[in-house]
Structure 1
Amino acid sequence: MSMLERRVGQNALYHNLELEVIPPPAESWCGPTSRKTIIEGRRIIEKYPLVYAPSDTVAGHLKFALKHETLDMGVIAATMRAADPNELEKWVESEPTGAFSRRAWFLYEWFTGKNLNLPDASSGNYVDALNPKLNIGSHGTNLPRYRVVDNMLGVSGMCFTVKPSQAIGRYRTSALNERAQEIVNSARPEVLERAIQYLFTKETKSSFEIEHEEATAQKAERFVAALKSTASFEPSSFDDLIQLQNVIVDRRYAATAFRDFQNFVGETIGPDQEKVHFICPKPEDIQELMRDWGAMCHRLRGMSDPVIASAVVAFAFVYLHPFEDGNGRIHRFLIHNILSREGFTPPNFLFPISAAIVRDVRGYDRTLESLSTPVMERTAWAWDKEYNIIVKNDTDHLFRYFDATEHVEFTYAKIEDTVQKDLREEIDYITLFDAALKALNRAIDMPNRQASLFVRLFMQQGGISKKKRELFKELSDEEVGRLSAVVRDAITDTGHANDDNVEAEDKGPGW
């Protein structure tokens, strides 16, 4: 930046107060410039003309942030703990009905748990703590002391930033849950029942695949049962969490409580060599962090946007990594739990989000790295003599407040992918399979197991290959050719009928 420009808002608070937190995602500057936004990867630079410049005080920069910026919870929480309460009191006293002064007053007391020496507000319209145009918040509660609506996205011990980005705005208006329900309603009941069973199995297999584990028949059965009983699961209940972990992991690694050891995510690259990707919170911090996580889960119940609630709850959990094993699967389970509990998912159904993640593992890793990378940059650690990781500085605050915008965008994208691909494709596949099997059975008297195998192989390969031909030695070449034509015609005719139905639905009632 030029010497004529100066930091303002959260950018100034971060540097002036020397806050030991992750920097705000957007840097604001004032100078001899026009208003413009510069995007460099994940770095956003906001430039303002000099007329926007606030007084170079904590109150001045807070007012600028409240007026113009998406509030970064890590920066705001640390600012409130570092701020001089006398300065904030003078600000409120000078602007007793001001929207920005009252919001700052609320945020100070909310994050610090300390009261400013001020009487309750007696006038001024109620104003949201988080401006909906700049921050996505939760459902609100009126607080008469400040005449402020508490719509924070969490609780004081764990709260997140979600910017109302263009991508999130598009997803929120696309009615993904309604589109899914329309697909479900259009399917024959017997087809839908089989499709749902397959999707539960697909989600289970994919969730284990992400962890580079194979879902044995017993493990898969337990995980499917857990997914199907998600409505009775309460994330804020530690007993429910521990019981779920016990269900989905090998019994030798079943936990009886949250971990009391240092956990990390890494990979073995040689004898006595580990490549560390991410270091989780210290064991002495995990109990309190999980209590705040549970309170945050409870706070977000009934939120108008269940996808946002599911994303922040699930990703916050996986960063905390409270167990030795099963954290990733529980993380993805939590997405289903909240979407189901809040009525976003059709009844007795689920979106196989893990399958969509398997198709976009790099995108998943990038999303996780949006927090894990800056956390690692601020974690001082070393190996001890027993080759255990020792964390030498305080890191718990890095997990309490972070920007979850990318996490929400990713979760929405994977739900959209499952609606457009997995749900539609599975219902279409079963419909085509049934039509082809019915046609085959009319053409030949064949054991059902062999007939099903014939149709399945044909649909997978577009025909019966020479290698698979050996599985049907009882059939002549002429019969294989004739039956292939029967299956092909049935699939083609049914597919055209489905296309016509979809086209008619798209054209609407006027056609």
Structure 2
Amino acid sequence: MSAVGYEYLRQQLNLSALELKRPALVKPVTRLTNINDCLSVPKNMAPADGAYLDHVLFALKHEGTNLAVLAQTLPNISAEDLLAELRRSPSGGYIRKAAFLWETFTGKELEGAPVAGGAVIPLFDPTQYYTGPSVRNARWRVDFNGLGSMRYCATVARTPTITQLLESDVLTRAREFMASLPAEMQDRALSWAYLHETQDSFAIEKEAPSEDKAQRFVKLLRQAHERHPLSEEYLVELQNICVTNPLDQAASYRAEQNHLQSGLRGAAGVTYVPPPPDILTDLMADWLAFANSAPTQVDPIIAASIISFGFVFLHPFMDGNGRLSRFLIHHALCSSGKLENGLLLPVSIAMKREEQAYLEALRDFSKPIRERWQVRWLDEMKYDFKFQGDVSIYQFWDATPAVEFVARMADLALEVELRQETLFLQRYDKVLRAVNQRYDVRGSMLSTLVMMCLDNAGKVSKNRRKQFANLVPEAIFDAIEAEAKAVLDEENELREEPGHTPDNT
């Protein structure tokens, strides 16, 4: 099987662009067909060996727009080959795209090119990709409509899963749900959300926050609603809030190479290497340009996903990047104007529950990137890192797995975390009030027992009865269980009523 299009270019030109998830391969078929994990191409449709421009045009026509491959390929194509094709077809959409990208990536002008004709064409097909605002190039009659810029751009495929999740409009549902609650219940639910979002964001990093750390992170989360523009100075300030050890607090972006490590020793334990410090500053400037504009220009979930995952892939600080990347989800959602009055979707709680899926979404990018680095272990704390790739692999990346993951987590944060906690608080209030009217029990003790009962499916366990036997009469345990059963039975009856929806509970 011989490769065609992007995969052919990647192999023949020895590009460092990441492997394609669906390469085009010549197969015994009579027409272009998606089979398993490849685009099957009839032999008679495959461009000739060595005809690099023909493979670029084939890829643009049949495989979409892969800027990482194109950024590394087009400088290898001569101006003469482009001009010859333009003279044959000055209105051709794919050669116009190629010419536009050639000039962009080489910084040169195609002198003597014929005037481009034909309708204006988008660089990214909106039927295949989620796109950003258009910026027209009049010379080639091409609209750049990517999620970012020609210096930093993510792609997000229009998959059925993402489409369904985005159309469900979780941010509107979250606003409507919170608005349906009494003000006092809103406050309690949000207090819970801020606290547990903090605890689980640390838990993802395998840390249990001290009271001081927790307060600092809650403060950070509340800052999301200030919609403060992002800058290096502001990110440093946020990093200092995330990290309590003064020795780990940053004063600027990192000036040394960092990496992520597994439990293995030596180079085998290095699982991801972010961009070298000498290219980091430019990458962060381009990421900032996207992060400050995207939340109000594209779907907020898409913007938040690219901003958060893009940040952690660049890893601009020596510590605190993971927690800060999850804060940036909230910052983006708040900056969109779609979340108001302190509303927070506790996505880190959902991420902790779905930790394996979180790791898989991160590894979709980090694992192949690791292969573009030569890492040599020197001693316990020292490594020699040599980057064997091209900056474009960090500039142009596939954010489809990130968007799908964040969209699912936002939905879980509302439908499971916020709704279930609110339901718990409502049950708690009913049981506490009913028992308190009949018995005189110290408030903190009664509160603890009611919570334990509800957490245990409406039963006060034998161990809890023994633990509190000298403090609480047996009748109170029975009363708590009876009231909890009454509340749960009432909910079950409501669910069985015709026309009931979860919002009616």
Q: Same fold (TM over 0.5)?
A: yes
Which residue matches 2:420?
425
1:231-259 CA-partner distances (Å, limit 9, x unpaired): 33556411110000011101411110111
Q: Following TM superposition, by how much is the alpha carbon of 1:425 offset from its aligned partner in structure 2, in angstroms?
A: 0.4
Which residue matches 2:85?
91
Q: SS of the counterpart of 2:73? A: helix
Q: SS of the counterpart of 2:500? A: helix
CA distance in 1, matches of 2:491, 2:174: 22
Q: Following TM superposition, by how much is the alpha carbon of 1:338 offset from its aligned partner in structure 2, in angstroms?
A: 0.8
CA distance in 2, matches of 1:227, 1:458: 31
Q: SS of the counterpart of 1:357? A: helix
Alpha carbons 1:177, 1:346 under 8 Å: kept = no
Question: For the structure 1 residues 235 and 416, does the alpha-carbon distance in structure 2 shift closer, same or farther, using more than 3 Å as the test?
Answer: same
Which residue matches 2:260?
265
Aligned pair partner of 2:473 in 457, 473, 476: 476
Question: For the structure 1 residues 449 and 159, does the alpha-carbon distance in structure 2 shift closer, same or farther, using more than 3 Å as the test?
Answer: same
Q: Following TM superposition, by how much is the alpha carbon of 1:348 offset from its aligned partner in structure 2, in angstroms?
A: 1.7
Q: SS of the counterpart of 1:71? A: coil
1:165-217 CA-partner distances (Å, limit 9, x unpaired): 22212222222223323322322221121101111111110000010111111
Letter in 1 for 2:235: L
Which residue matches 2:35?
38
Which residue matches 1:23?
19
Which residue matches 1:220?
214
Question: For the structure 1 residues 397 and 488, does the alpha-carbon distance in structure 2 shift closer, same or farther, using more than 3 Å as the test?
Answer: same
Instruction: Report the TM-score when normalising by structure 2.
Output: 0.91
Matches within 5 A, 1:29-428: 29-34=25-30, 35-39=32-36, 44-50=37-43, 52-54=45-47, 57-118=51-112, 121=115, 123-234=117-228, 236-252=230-246, 253-269=248-264, 275-298=269-292, 300-345=294-339, 347-384=341-378, 387-395=381-389, 396-428=391-423
Question: For the structure 1 residues 99 and 322, does the alpha-carbon distance in structure 2 shift closer, same or farther, using more than 3 Å as the test?
Answer: same
Aligned pair partner of 1:445 in 431, 437, 440: 440
Alpha carbons 1:443, 1:483 under 8 Å: kept = no
1:101-143 CA-partner distances (Å, limit 9, x unpaired): 2222222223333322256856422111111123332121222
CA distance in 1, matches of 2:106, 2:398: 20
Letter in 1 for 2:363: E
CA distance in 2, matches of 1:451, 1:24: 59
CA distance in 2, matches of 1:276, 1:330: 21
Unaligned runs of 5+ in 1: none
Letter in 2 for 1:16: Q
CA distance in 2, matches of 1:502, 1:145: 59
1:452-505 CA-partner distances (Å, limit 9, x unpaired): 122111111222223222336343223432343134324433564577698168
Alpha carbons 1:154, 1:299 under 8 Å: kept = no
Q: Following TM superposition, by how much is the alpha carbon of 1:438 offset from its aligned partner in structure 2, in angstroms?
A: 1.5
Alpha carbons 1:155, 1:299 under 8 Å: kept = no
Letter in 1 for 2:63: E
Letter in 1 for 2:188: R
Alpha carbons 2:65, 2:123 under 8 Å: kept = no
Q: SS of the counterpart of 2:272? A: strand
Q: Which is further off, 81-90 or 208-217?
A: 81-90
CA distance in 2, matches of 1:300, 1:478: 59
Alpha carbons 1:77, 1:111 under 8 Å: kept = yes
Question: For the structure 1 residues 298 and 137, does the alpha-carbon distance in structure 2 shift closer, same or farther, using more than 3 Å as the test?
Answer: same
Sequence identity (%): 29
Letter in 2 for 1:46: L
CA distance in 2, matches of 1:229, 1:499: 43
CA distance in 2, matches of 1:141, 1:448: 63
Q: Which is further off, 304-313 or 190-199?
A: 304-313
CA distance in 1, matches of 2:438, 2:76: 81
Instruction: Report the TM-score when normalising by structure 1.
Output: 0.90
CA distance in 2, matches of 1:188, 1:280: 46
CA distance in 2, matches of 1:110, 1:298: 23
RMSD: 2.6
CA distance in 1, matches of 2:499, 2:435: 26
1:245-287 CA-partner distances (Å, limit 9, x unpaired): 01110141111011122211114557x8982222222222322
Alpha carbons 2:450, 2:480 under 8 Å: kept = no
Number of aligned residue pairs = 498
Question: For the structure 1 residues 120 and 146, does the alpha-carbon distance in structure 2 shift closer, same or farther, using more than 3 Å as the test?
Answer: farther
Q: Following TM superposition, by how much is the alpha carbon of 1:221 offset from its aligned partner in structure 2, in angstroms?
A: 0.9
Q: SS of the counterpart of 2:287? A: helix
CA distance in 1, matches of 2:182, 2:380: 60
Aligned pair partner of 1:489 in 471, 475, 486: 486
CA distance in 1, matches of 2:123, 2:490: 58
Q: Following TM superposition, by how much is the alpha carbon of 1:399 offset from its aligned partner in structure 2, in angstroms?
A: 1.7
Alpha carbons 2:431, 2:480 under 8 Å: kept = no
Aligned pair partner of 1:8 in 4, 20, 23: 4
Letter in 1 for 2:62: H
Letter in 2 for 1:428: L
1:273-316 CA-partner distances (Å, limit 9, x unpaired): 98222222222232222222223324534232221221122112
CA distance in 2, matches of 1:499, 1:238: 55
CA distance in 2, matches of 1:468, 1:198: 24
Letter in 2 for 1:401: F
Q: SS of the counterpart of 1:402? A: strand
Question: For the structure 1 residues 439 and 141, does the alpha-carbon distance in structure 2 shift closer, same or farther, using more than 3 Å as the test?
Answer: same
Question: For the structure 1 residues 499 and 419, does the alpha-carbon distance in structure 2 shift closer, same or farther, using more than 3 Å as the test?
Answer: farther
CA distance in 2, matches of 1:226, 1:476: 44
Alpha carbons 2:296, 2:335 under 8 Å: kept = no
